[in-house]
């Protein structure tokens, strides 16, 4: 018996990285999976194949999470295909790093749209479904940077701080309908997002982490599993850090 037997999960940005690890973890625990990606079809196909190998139903949707209309259309399609939505993971995200004084409007807008507006779009579309079901768990991917800020990432940090405020507000609005909303704040996790950073910088960062290493996507997925499952039935409005004790 799995922790998510009979549940339907919708995960944004699960073609790669943390999203894919969450999709696989949920499928291993018995959930059927709907997931989105932006453009990387080959990676999305690989996620689909890995979930099918686990014997679970899975459908991948190519859709820009930053579009309000597309998010609503997609949630309608998932509801029609799967019949319900028990778990939403707002995971899709990008970086466009540079110092504030060099940042242009397009870098700010791209990150706020993909990271923060996307979470609003999907939460807004899914909440009525969960309200009718009188149950649901919404998990949104923040970051330690959203709590502490980071030089060179004012757009990203603002988007991740906004996700915390969105999530804690939804927890207060929707708790009476048995809808829980929580955030995960990962630290430095080994994925495509961090692999482009210079090796020297990666080593320097690792030294500042008490556990002395980058995290794995699967370690974030374990926290997501806790928040998705009934193990966290009395947990809402929280931010769980998954960062190896990283100080900030």
List of residues contacting ligand NAP (CB under 6 A): 12-19, 36-40, 43, 64-66, 91-94, 114-115, 141, 143, 186, 188-189, 191-194
Q: Which residues are catalytic?
A: 156
Among the listed residues 49, 18, 32, the one whose alpha carbon sits nearest the alpha carbon of residue 85: 32
Contact 122, 168 (CB under 8 A): no
DSSP assignment of 41-88 equals HHHHHHHHHHHHTTT--EEEEE--TT-HHHHHHHHHHHHHHHS---EE
Shortest separation between residue 14's beta carbon and ligand NAP, angstroms: 6
Least distance CB 132 / ligand NAP (angstroms) = 26
In Å, how far are 31, 39, 213 from 155, measured between CA atoms? 34, 22, 26
CB 72 to ligand NAP: min, Å: 14
Q: Which is closer to ligand NAP, CB of 37 or CB of 120?
A: 37
Measured in degrees and rounded to the nearest 5, phi and psi for residue 83 equal 90, -20
CA dihedral 38, 105, 161, 145 (to 10 degrees): 80
139: three-class secondary structure by DSSP: strand
Residues 87, 78: Cα–Cα separation, whole Å: 12
Q: Which is nearer to ligand NAP, 112 or 131 (CB)?
A: 112
Could you tell me if 186 and 245 are in contact, meaning their C-beta atoms sit under 8 angstroms apart?
Answer: no
The smaller minimum CB distance to ligand NAP, of residues 127 and 157, is found at: 157
Q: Please identify which residue in the block is written with the tokens 């990283």.
A: 246
Q: How far is C-alpha 109 from the chain's CA centre?
A: 19
Q: CB nearer to ligand NAP: give 131 or 197.
A: 197
Nearest residue to 138 via CA among 107, 102, 173, 114: 173
Q: Which residues pair with 141 in a beta bridge?
A: 184
Q: Give min distance, CB of 27 to ligand NAP, in A.
A: 16
By beta-carbon proximity to ligand NAP, the closer residue of 119 and 129 is: 119
Smallest distance from the beta carbon of 15 to ligand NAP, in angstroms?
4
């Amino acid at each position: 018996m799995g922790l998510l037997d009979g549940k339907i999960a919708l995960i944004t940005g699960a073609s790669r990285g943390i999203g894919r690890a969450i999709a696989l973890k949920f499928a291993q625990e018995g959930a059927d999976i709907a997931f989105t990606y932006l453009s990387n079809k080959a990676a999305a196909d690989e996620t689909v194949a890995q979930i099918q190998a686990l014997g679970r139903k899975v459908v991948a949707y190519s859709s820009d999470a930053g579009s309000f209309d597309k998010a609503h259309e997609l949630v309608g399609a998932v509801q029609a295909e799967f019949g319900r939505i028990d778990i939403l993971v707002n995971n899709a995200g990008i970086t466009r790093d540079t110092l504030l004084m060099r940042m242009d409007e397009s870098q700010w807008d791209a990150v706020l749209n993909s990271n923060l507006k996307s979470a609003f779009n999907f939460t807004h579309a899914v909440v009525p479904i969960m309200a009718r079901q009188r149950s649901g768990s919404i998990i949104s991917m923040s970051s330690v940077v959203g709590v502490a800020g980071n030089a060179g990432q004012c757009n990203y940090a603002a988007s991740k701080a906004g996700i915390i405020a969105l999530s804690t507000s939804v927890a207060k609005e929707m708790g009476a309908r048995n809808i829980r909303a929580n955030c995960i704040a990962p630290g430095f996790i080994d994925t495509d997002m961090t692999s482009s950073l210079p090796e020297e910088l990666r080593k320097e960062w690792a030294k500042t982490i008490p556990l002395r290493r980058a995290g794995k996507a699967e370690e974030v997925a374990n926290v997501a599993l806790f928040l998705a499952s009934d193990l966290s039935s009395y947990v809402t409005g929280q931010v769980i850090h998954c960062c190896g004790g990283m100080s900030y």
